[in-house]
Amino acid sequence: MRNPTLTVLFVIAVTILVGGYLIYQWCMPKRLVVSTTTSLYATGLLDAIADGFKAHNPNVEVVFVAVGSGEALRRAAQGDADLVLVHAPSLELTYIQKGVISKSRIFAYNYFLIVGPKDDPARIEGLDPVEAFKAIFKAGEEGEIEFISRGDNSGTHVRELALWRRAHLDPKGEPWYIETGSGMAETLRVANEKRAYTLTDVGTYLKLKETLGELKPLVKGGRLLLNIYSGYLVVSSKEPELAMRFLEYLVSDEVQALIKNFGVEEYGGQLFYPVNSTSLAELKKAWAELAEV
């Protein structure tokens, strides 16, 4: 005959063990790997967002891998990230169609700028972006200027190539067209050193403008220079629930308020714009158009 006391003790022991294991699983540190574009990371915005997320999720370590958008998406395809934060609609569409990423959230936007020497030898100031690229090409062929390209398959590089296509021009291989293969900060540094033209996101430019005395914004605004930042769940994520939590946090009122005010006083301008219900519809429409460029 089974001893009821032993049975009760056994049940209690099992309950304690299972409960302890579950508590351990819940409390043990979790690692969320986010593959991201450099323009978001270099400004410091992502560290500020991660601090807020960690305040709500103290057992989570958020690890950012800052690379160009193309590389960020490639890493996602290899299963080396849980989330991607990128700004290259045409590349994003390709990886959506491949089933690599899903659950998109547009969480911020700003604009690209065409910057160049203050005396503007190519005379592009105030032009439409496509006309500006035509003028840069002409001035380059005449030996008057140089253009510095990231050349790294980043979101900025992808948009630059789209503008050249719109202008029906291909500068690759021309002596005045220089590819750095580097991030935005290094590309701006080279452009400043050479007093050359380049395409940059406004956030990185504003952060570094005090060190860019030879450059000034010459072409800005408009649909073709709209820069949309989107977050995606990587389908093969090892932490899908946690990744979705971070993705939803990006579009929360808390983060949108942070985005609106981030760096405005320190850098003297709006680095990023938040997304609301009104702007989201327009941004989705613009994203679809830019994905086909």
* Domain 111-225 in the same topology as domain 28-110+227-291: yes
């029906």: which residue's tokens?
A: 168
- As a whole number, mean pLDDT of residues 208-214 equals 95
What residues does 151 pair with on adjacent strands?
none
Q: What is the CATH superfamily name and number for domain 28-110+227-291?
A: Periplasmic binding protein-like II (3.40.190.10)
Q: Given a cut of 50, is residue 76 above it in pLDDT?
A: yes
Q: 70 or 9, which is more confident?
A: 70
What mean pLDDT, rounded, does the chain reach? 92
Side chain identity at residue 88, one-letter code: A
Count H helices and E strands in the chain, helices first: 13, 9
Residue 14 has what pLDDT? 54
The residues, ordered by sequence, that sit 6+ positions from 44 with a Cβ below 8 Å of its Cβ are 262, 263
Measure the CA angle with vertex 108, ends 213 and 230; round to 5°: 115
DSSP string, 25-82: HHHS-EEEEEEEEHHHHHTTHHHHHHHHHHHH-TTEEEEEEEE-HHHHHHHHHTT--S
Residue 15 has what pLDDT? 62
Q: pLDDT tens, 84-119?
A: 999 999 999 999 999 999 999 999 999 999 999 999
197: DSSP letter: B
Q: How far apart are alpha carbons 68 and 86 in whole angstroms?
A: 8
Q: Given a cut of 70, is residue 176 above it in pLDDT?
A: yes
Q: pLDDT tens, 219-230?
A: 998 999 999 999
Q: Given a cut of 80, is residue 175 above it in pLDDT?
A: yes
% residues pLDDT > 70 (the chain)? 90
Burial class (CB in 10 A: 0-12, 13-18, 19+), 125: middle
Residue 29 pLDDT grade (very low, low, confident, very high; cuts 50, 70, 90): confident
- As a whole number, mean pLDDT of residues 266-282 equals 93
C-alpha pair distances (Å), 123 with each of 119, 138, 159: 8, 11, 21
Fold annotation for 111-225: D-Maltodextrin-Binding Protein; domain 2 (3.40.190)
Q: pLDDT tens, 2-25?
A: 566 656 555 565 566 555 444 444
State whether residue 125 is helix, strand or coil.
coil
Residue 22 has what pLDDT? 44
State whether residue 231 is helix, strand or coil.
strand
- As a whole number, mean pLDDT of residues 133-155 equals 97
Residue 143 has what pLDDT? 97
The sign of the dihedral angle between the CA atoms of 269, 273, 278, 281 is: positive
Q: Given a cut of 80, is residue 125 above it in pLDDT?
A: yes
Q: Given a cut of 80, is residue 149 above it in pLDDT?
A: yes
The domain spans of the chain are 28-110+227-291, 111-225
Count of CB atoms situated within 10 Å of the CB of 153: 19
Residue 292 has what pLDDT? 87
C-alpha pair distances (Å), 184 with each of 8, 40, 190: 66, 11, 10
Q: How far apart are alpha carbons 113 and 216 in whole angstroms?
A: 9
277: DSSP letter: H
Residue 24 has what pLDDT? 41
C-alpha pair distances (Å), 105 with each of 1, 50, 230, 292: 62, 17, 5, 19
Q: How far apart are alpha carbons 250 and 259 in whole angstroms?
A: 10
227 close to 69: Cβ distance less than 8 angstroms: no
Q: How far apart are alpha carbons 291 and 293 in whole angstroms?
A: 6
Q: Given a cut of 90, is residue 236 above it in pLDDT?
A: yes
Q: How far apart are alpha carbons 82 and 31 in whole angstroms?
A: 9
Q: 183 or 1, which is more confident?
A: 183
Residue 23 has what pLDDT? 46
108 close to 37: Cβ distance less than 8 angstroms: no
Q: 134 or 265, which is more confident?
A: 134
